[in-house]
Each structure stands twice: as structure tokens, then as C-alpha cells.
């Protein structure tokens, strides 16, 4: 199979990220865009670009059939969906293939299985993968639920099968809360996903969120590319990611990697995927779910492995064998990522959309900015407010952290508030630096007051340094007079 032209069914930084690798491989690119994105960088970056509709996603970037029609008209060989939008839409993947276009991702069957938490549990059940104690069938009977609660012990967690990313979850502390919480969970799941199936798991109180990158070809080879630590998130939105995790031993890393490969095997996976695990205080790990797309945080894995994941995606999509073996993969160095959102960390992270009056990116060795914006642009209200990802790499974790802090200082944005100062607060925080944190980091350690305090402290230090320098200068100037 040959791929000469790829349509990127996405926008922003990820569209550009995919186009860069396509360009490197001598493959032509087609951008799609909504009317509000007509001057966006991803449109100019592509060899060809087609407007597909009005700003709202469901009138543009989510119009699968229309996008496929564009691909056919422009004689595109393959479609890369990026993340979000249509990337985990099984029907879209199927329609792409039915039109003899390569979908750069897994088969729609794998997307379908992993889109349902219960189907995923069912698919992996014979593979010996550790899972949180709980049930693997939808439950509606409240008495049965109480029995299960007693058996596994409270607190328990009610989850929606169609959920994921934390949507439709409810913690139940005691039996007397179970009935009302279950009713609520079912009705929420029904209205949010059109599927009221819920199930029950033991609640792991203070987990770390660790995920494993996998990559599979069409010849039965599956690799894992180690872990990403993604515990620093707020309301299920990741903000900081890193690789490797500072808590995994080589043994645990191998075990989790092998489990992730088995999950991929269980659904005949092809392409890049991510297997999510929870890690409890005793370093037991449990399979949570699999994301069947290239993830936002993939660059940290690229830094520590030296592998271009988009290149591998394209190569396996055109039928090539994976060019490396597991034993040849090694972790080198340490990488960090900060998601730069146009959100105000001092105002409950509300979207701070507006005009980018100043937009200057940091540069240098070990710094990568995957960016989708430029100075003078308006940030559209219609889409995710992530402007860019700031990624740093060092030989050690400490080096990557220092580089990250200096890169944040050299990232200049005016016109909108961003998560840059919040990121700096995280990277300077003792809990982060020591590596001793879990998914509650933001709730436990962050408040707008703490961030303001850190800023004031910094301003004081800057003033003191300036004053000291002023006094020194005065001394020098006075010398010749004496
Ligand atoms: C859990 C859990 C505790 N116990 N399952 C949240 C997102 C979804 N992928 C699963 N999630 C969780 N599942 C059990 N049995 C805690 C979470 C969770 C979480 C997981 C990963 C990253 C951040 C999180 C924040 C809150 C809760």
C-alpha cells in the first residue's frame, strides 16, 4: 500500500504535528477547516486545504461523511484523525475504509470494544490482566448492588460503561448512599451517552494515573514504549505529564508494559494506542481503559525513546512491519509536558478566549513547543482552548524541570490568561519535585491564593536583585570621585 497524500481531519497543534511528519516522509497533506479557522496556521501549513463548514464542530470537524467526500475528491490515500473530534468514532473509521481510504488508526472493531468499559473488561478477561475488584456486567438491581458493595467493601465507585475520562463516575462512601447515587449515575449516563449501563468497582482512594504507549503493526507485532505519568490533572483534564514516571521500577515497568501489550492483543489492535492504569499506594496496578488514538501527551514518549510516533503510525498504516524490537527500546533521559490552555488559573480555569496580542515561544536545545497559534490571532470559542504544549527534555528529571521553568519564563503571552503560571507553580512545588504526588495533587496543593503568593514572592526577589545591582552600580560610579 502506498500513501502519497494524507488528509488531516483535525485542527490546531495536532494537525500541524501530523503534517510535519508527513512532510518529512515526502507525503502531501490536505487540511480541512471551518470558516473561523480560514487563516489558522494548520491551513497554511498544508499543501491543500478545504473549508468544510461553519465554526461549530458538529457543522465542520465532526462531519465525517463530508470529510470523506473531500478526501475522495482530492484523491487522498489516508486520513489521520488526530485526537478528539472523529478519532475514536468507530462508524467514521469504518466509513473511511469502506471508501478505500486508509484510516490511520485501529480497526473500527477495536475502537468499538474500547469505547465501552464493559466490553473492554470482557475482551481482556482471559489475558490475566490485573483489574480493580468489581463487576464486569451492567447492574440495575439495587439489592444486588448492595450485596456487591458489602462484598468488595466501601467506598465503591459507580462508573458508566459508555463513560471514560471520568465522566459519569460516582463515589459511594456507605451503603445508605448507594440507592440514590446509583439512580443518579444511571440517569446521568442515559442523558449523557444514551446508554444507562453502569458497573461497580472498589474505589482506589489515592491512585496515580500511569499509562503505557503501545504500537502494533498488521503482522502481529506489538511494542510498548514505556509509561507516561499523568496524575497531575484537574477535573479529569490533564495539565502536566512526564516520562518516565519517578515511581516505576524496571520490574514494574516491564510488568505493566506486558499487560498493556496483552490488552492490545485482546482487541487485535493496530497502530498507536494507550493503555491506562491506576497505580495504588502499594504499587499494585489495575487496567482502566484503552484510548484508541494518538494522545495529546505523546511527545514525552517521543523524547525518551527517540521515536517519531506519527511516522510509525503511517508506516504500520501502509502495511509495514514495525522496524524495531522490544529489546532494542531503551528509555533515555526525562521529558515533561505542560499543556498551555487559554484558561485563567486565578478564576477557576475559566476559558480566557480573546486576542493574542503577544505570542512569543521559547526556543532552545531540549525545548519543543507543539503549537497551533500565532500572534495577532483570535482564539475561537468553539473548540478546546489548548494553545500549545510545552515539552522539555533533559538527561535527568531535575534538568528537565529546570529547563521547563526557564522555558515558561520565556513564553510570552499577552491578551489572554494561560495555564503557564499554574504550570510554573506545579514544577516548583515540593510535592512535584520529590515525585511524591497522586491524582489529587491539584485539589491538595493548588489554590489561586497559593499561585498569587508564589508570584508576589517572585516579584520581591526580582526587586531585591535589582536593588542589589543598583547599589553595586552606585558604588562603582562613585569610586572615581573619591
Ligand atoms: C477510578 C478511580 C478510583 N478507583 N477507578 C477517572 C478517569 C477514568 N479513566 C477512571 N478514573 C478513575 N477511576 C477506581 N476503581 C479514580 C479515577 C480517577 C482518576 C483516574 C485517573 C486520573 C485522574 C483521576 C482523577 C479522579 C479519579
Q: How much is the pLDDT for 71? A: 98
Residue nearest to atom 17 of ligand 1 (CA): 166
Q: How far is the CA of 331 from the centre of ligand 1 (A)?
A: 27
pLDDT tens digits, residue range 367-416? 999 999 999 999 999 999 999 999 999 999 999 999 999 999 999 999 99
| Ligand 1 center from residue 159 Cα (angstroms) | 10
Contact between residue 239 and residue 442 where contact means Cβ atoms under 8 Å apart: yes
Q: 130 CB less than 6 Å from ligand 1?
A: no
CB of 207 within 6 A of ligand 1: the answer is yes
Report the residue among 209, 232, 239, 279 best suited for mutation to probe ligand 1: largest number of ligand atoms under 8 A from its CB.
209
Q: Regarding predicted confidence, which is higher, 474 or 38? A: 38
* E strand or H helix that includes residue 469: helix 448-478
Q: Whose CA is nearest to atom 6 of ligand 1?
A: 166
**Pocket lining: 33 vs ligand 1, CB cutoff 6 Å:** no
- Beta-strand ranges (E) seen in 107-207 are 156-160, 170-172, 198-202
SS3 for 367-434 is EEEEECCCCCCECCCCCCCEEEEEEEEECCHHHHHHHHHHHHHCCEEECCCCCHHHHHHHHHCHHHHH
The alpha carbon of 145 and the centre of ligand 1 are apart by a number of angstroms equal to: 20
Is beta strand 102-103 parallel, antiparallel or unpaired with respect to 78-80?
A: parallel
Q: With a 6 A CB cut-off, is 201 part of the ligand 1 pocket? A: yes
Average pLDDT of the segment spanning 67-92: 98
- With the most atoms of ligand 1 within 8 angstroms of its CB, the residue from 155, 161, 165, 166 to mutate is 166
**Each residue of 428-458: pLDDT tens digit?**
999 999 999 999 999 999 999 999 988 888 8
Q: pLDDT band at 479, cuts 50/70/90?
A: low
Distance (angstroms) between ligand 1 centre and the Cα of 381 equals: 28
Q: Phi-psi bin for 209: left (phi > 0), alpha (psi -120 to 50), beta?
A: beta
Band of residue 268 on the pLDDT scale cut at 50, 70, 90: very high
Report the C-alpha gap between 107 and 10 in whole angstroms: 19
| Cβ–Cβ < 8 Å for 59, 53 | yes
Position with higher pLDDT, 479 vs 327: 327
Cell, residue 173 = 462512601
Where would I find the H helices in 139-216?
142-152, 175-193
Residues 40, 45: Cα–Cα separation, whole Å: 9
Residue 473 predicted with pLDDT over 90: no
The mean predicted confidence, pLDDT, of the chain is 95
Of 17, 170, 253, 293, catalytic: 293
293 counts as catalytic: yes
| CA atoms of 275 and 81, how far apart (whole Å) | 19
pTM for the model: 0.94
Mean pLDDT across the stretch 301-327? Answer: 98
Phi, psi of 274 (to 5 degrees): -130, 130
* Structure confidence by residue, pLDDT tens digits, 198-252: 999 999 999 999 999 999 999 999 999 999 999 999 999 999 999 999 999 999 9
**Beta strand 386-394 with 367-371: parallel, antiparallel or unpaired?**
antiparallel
Instruction: Using DSSP, state whether 102 is helix, strand or coil.
Output: strand
Residue 33: what pLDDT? 98
Average of per-residue pLDDT across 300-328: 98
Q: Of 338, 333, 339, which is closest to residue 306 (Cα–Cα)?
A: 333
> What does each C-alpha distance from 258 to 223, 268, 481 come to in angstroms?
9, 15, 76
The residue nearest atom 27 of ligand 1, judged by CA position, is 166
Residue where the block lists cell 449516563? 189
Query: What mean pLDDT comes out for the span 415-433?
Result: 98
Amino acid at each position: 500500500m502506498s500513501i502519497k497524500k494524507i488528509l488531516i481531519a483535525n485542527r490546531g497543534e495536532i494537525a500541524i504535528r501530523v503534517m510535519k511528519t508527513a512532510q518529512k516522509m515526502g507525503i502531501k497533506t490536505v487540511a480541512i477547516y471551518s470558516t473561523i479557522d480560514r487563516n489558522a496556521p494548520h491551513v497554511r501549513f498544508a499543501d491543500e486545504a478545504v473549508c468544510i463548514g461553519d465554526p461549530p464542530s458538529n457543522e465542520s470537524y465532526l462531519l465525517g461523511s463530508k470529510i470523506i467526500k473531500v478526501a475522495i475528491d482530492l484523491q487522498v490515500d489516508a486520513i489521520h484523525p488526530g485526537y478528539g473530534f472523529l478519532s475514536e468514532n468507530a462508524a467514521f473509521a469504518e466509513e473511511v475504509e469502506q471508501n478505500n481510504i486508509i484510516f490511520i488508526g485501529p480497526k473500527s472493531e477495536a475502537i468499538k470494544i474500547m469505547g465501552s468499559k464493559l466490553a473492554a473488561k470482557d475482551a481482556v478477561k482471559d489475558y490475566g490482566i490485573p483489574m480493580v475488584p468489581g463487576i464486569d456486567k451492567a447492574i440495575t438491581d439495587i439489592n444486588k448492588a448492595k450485596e456487591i458493595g458489602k462484598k468488595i467493601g466501601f467506598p465503591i465507585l459507580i462508573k458508566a460503561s459508555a463513560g471514560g475520562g471520568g465522566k459519569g463516575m460516582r463515589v459511594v462512601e456507605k451503603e445508605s448512599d448507594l440507592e440514590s447515587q446509583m439512580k443518579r449515575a444511571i440517569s446521568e449516563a442515559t442523558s449523557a451517552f444514551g446508554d444507562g449501563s453502569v458497573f461497580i468497582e472498589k474505589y482506589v482512594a489515592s491512585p496515580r494515573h500511569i499509562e503505557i504507549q503501545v504500537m502494533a503493526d498488521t503482522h502481529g507485532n506489538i511494542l510498548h514504549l514505556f509509561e507516561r505519568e499523568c496524575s497531575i490533572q484537574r477535573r479529569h483534564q490533564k495539565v502536566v505529564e512526564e516520562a518516565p514516571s519517578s515511581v516505576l521500577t524496571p520490574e514494574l515497568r516491564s510488568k505493566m508494559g506486558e499487560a498493556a501489550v496483552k490488552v492490545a492483543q485482546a482487541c487485535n489492535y493496530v497502530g498507536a494506542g494507550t493503555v491506562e492504569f491506576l497505580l495504588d499506594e502499594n504499587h499494585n496496578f489495575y487496567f482502566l481503559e484503552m484510548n484508541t488514538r494518538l494522545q495529546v501527551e505523546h511527545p514525552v514518549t517521543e523524547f525518551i525513546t527517540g521515536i517519531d510516533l506519527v511516522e510509525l503510525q503511517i508506516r504500520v498504516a501502509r502495511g509495514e512491519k514495525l522496524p524495531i524490537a522490544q529489546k532494542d527500546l531503551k528509555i533515555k533521559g526525562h521529558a515533561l509536558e505542560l499543556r498551555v490552555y487559554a484558561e485563567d488559573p486565578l478564576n477557576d480555569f475559566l476559558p480566557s478566549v480573546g486576542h493574542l496580542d503577544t505570542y512569543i515561544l521559547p526556543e532552545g536545545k531540549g525545548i519543543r513547543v507543539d503549537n497551533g497559534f500565532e500572534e495577532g490571532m483570535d482564539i475561537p470559542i468553539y473548540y478546546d482552548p489548548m494553545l500549545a504544549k510545552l515539552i522539555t527534555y533533559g538527561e535527568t528529571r531535575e534538568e528537565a524541570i529546570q529547563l521547563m521553568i526557564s522555558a515558561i519564563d520565556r513564553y510570552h503571552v499577552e491578551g489572554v490568561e494561560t495555564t503557564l503560571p499554574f504550570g510554573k507553580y506545579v514544577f516548583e512545588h515540593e510535592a512535584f519535585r520529590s515525585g511524591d504526588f497522586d491524582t489529587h495533587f491539584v485539589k491538595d496543593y493548588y489554590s489561586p491564593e497559593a499561585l498569587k503568593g508564589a508570584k508576589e514572592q517572585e516579584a520581591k526577589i526580582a526587586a531585591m536583585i535589582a536593588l542589589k545591582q543598583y547599589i553595586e552600580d552606585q558604588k562603582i560610579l562613585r569610586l572615581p570621585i573619591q
